[in-house]
């Protein structure tokens, strides 16, 4: 990823993309098969969970507000260190935004505090980042437990999957796909809501839910007229909403979706 991160006029560490080295690519390919925590699914109706990562204010202005119009709620994976910063996704959230989202029924979930790539840290360092993030979210007014986590950049290791399984009810990655017979709670799949071919693929996955039930999680960042490479336009987000409505799927935040499926979704 390109661009600078700025907080109150101070230039901060620029975001980046995970290493594309062959060894790292192989590790990412093997990771879904390691340190799994499978939840068996018996879905007779499809479930879709909207999620937002980091997150920029446009995710509210052109995202969650539209979901609310449909009676839907989402999960926000928050890196508290990004509060009031500006980067390639735009201006990020304020503490009041978190409080307002929770009051409206949205779910606040965790990232690392600084949006650090977990594969570049030791497990102890990741745990310290998580503790700092959770404490900061509480200070910002978030209530209740932080039960769900998303790996920044989708970066994880088998060791980390195992360690974090003791801390969170679910851990979400960024590998696109639908959960059908099982879902790895240590590495949930998630389809990107990004402009271009990735959006077309995500809408295809949504349409497939009409004939073959499954649980699909979606993740988005900025939603604006000139989005980043990891965002989409408001019109494209509306396309996703339309496809979800046509699919007939039930829309639930991550936590509610898991509770429903663990109880035996009918």
CA 58 to chain centre: 15
CATH level 3 topology of 5-262: TIM Barrel (3.20.20)
**211 phi and psi, to 5 degrees?**
-105, -20
CA–CA dist 231, 219 (Å, integer): 10
Q: Which residues contact 127 (CB under 8 A, 6 or more apart)?
A: 163, 167
| Alpha-carbon distances, residue 182 vs 37, 128, 171, 179, 253 (angstroms) | 10, 31, 14, 6, 18
Q: Name the pTM for this structure.
A: 0.91
Q: Report the candidate in 175, 147, 141 with the shortest Cα–Cα distance to residue 31.
A: 175
Cis peptide upstream of residue 40 (ω within 30 degrees of 0): no
Residue 255: half-sphere exposure toward Cβ, Cα within 13 Å: 18
Q: What is the pLDDT of residue 10?
A: 35
Q: Which residues contact 1 (CB under 8 A, 6 or more apart)?
A: 14, 15, 16, 17, 88, 228, 229, 230
Q: What is the pLDDT of residue 18?
A: 64
pLDDT tens string, the chain, 266 residues long: the values are 334 455 443 334 455 566 666 666 666 777 877 889 999 999 999 999 999 999 999 999 999 999 999 999 999 999 999 999 999 999 999 999 999 999 999 999 999 999 999 999 999 999 999 999 999 999 999 999 999 999 999 999 999 999 999 999 999 999 999 999 999 999 999 999 999 999 999 999 999 999 999 999 999 999 999 999 999 999 999 999 999 999 999 999 999 999 998 887 54
Query: Hunting for tokens 């979210």 — which residue is that?
Result: 137
In SS3 terms, the chain reads as CCCCEEECCEEECCCCCCCCCHHHHHHHHHHHHCCCCEEECCCCCCEEEEEEEECECHHHHHHHHHHHHCCCCCEEEECHHHCCEEECCEEECCHHHHHHHHHCCCEEEECCCCCCCHHHCCHHHHHHHHHHHHHHHHHCCCCCCCCEEECHHHCCCHHHHHHHCCCCCEEECCCCCCECCEEECCCECCEECCCCHHHHHHHHHHHHCCCCCCEEEEEECCECCCCCCCCECHHHHHHHHHHHHHHCCEECCHHHHHHHHHCCCC
CA–CA dist 63, 223 (Å, integer): 7
């Amino acid at each position: 990823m390109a661009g600078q991160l700025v907080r109150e006029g101070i230039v901060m560490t620029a975001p980046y993309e995970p290493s594309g080295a062959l060894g790292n690519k192989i590790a990412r390919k093997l990771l879904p098969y390691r340190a799994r925590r499978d939840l068996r699914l018996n879905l007779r109706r499809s479930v879709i969970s909207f999620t937002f990562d980091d997150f920029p204010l446009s995710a509210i202005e052109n995202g969650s507000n539209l979901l609310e119009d449909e009676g839907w709620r989402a999960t926000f994976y928050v890196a508290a260190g990004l509060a009031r910063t500006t980067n390639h996704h735009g201006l990020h959230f304020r503490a009041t935004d978190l409080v307002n989202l929770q009051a409206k029924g949205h779910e606040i979930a965790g990232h690392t505090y600084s949006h650090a790539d977990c594969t570049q840290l030791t497990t102890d360092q990741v745990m310290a980042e998580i503790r700092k993030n959770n404490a900061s979210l509480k200070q910002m007014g978030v209530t209740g437990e932080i039960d769900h986590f998303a790996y920044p950049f989708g970066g994880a290791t088998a060791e980390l999957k195992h360690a974090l399984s003791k801390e969170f009810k679910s851990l979400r990655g960024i590998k696109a796909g639908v959960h059908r017979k099982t879902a790895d709670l240590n590495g949930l799949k998630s389809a990107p809501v990004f402009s271009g071919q990735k959006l077309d693929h995500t809408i295809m996955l949504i349409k497939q839910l009409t004939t073959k039930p499954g649980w699909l999680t979606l993740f988005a960042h900025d939603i604006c007229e000139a989005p980043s490479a990891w965002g989409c336009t408001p019109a494209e987000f509306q396309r996703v909403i339309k496809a979800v409505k046509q699919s007939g799927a039930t829309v639930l935040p991550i936590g509610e979706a898991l509770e429903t499926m663990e109880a035996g979704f009918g």
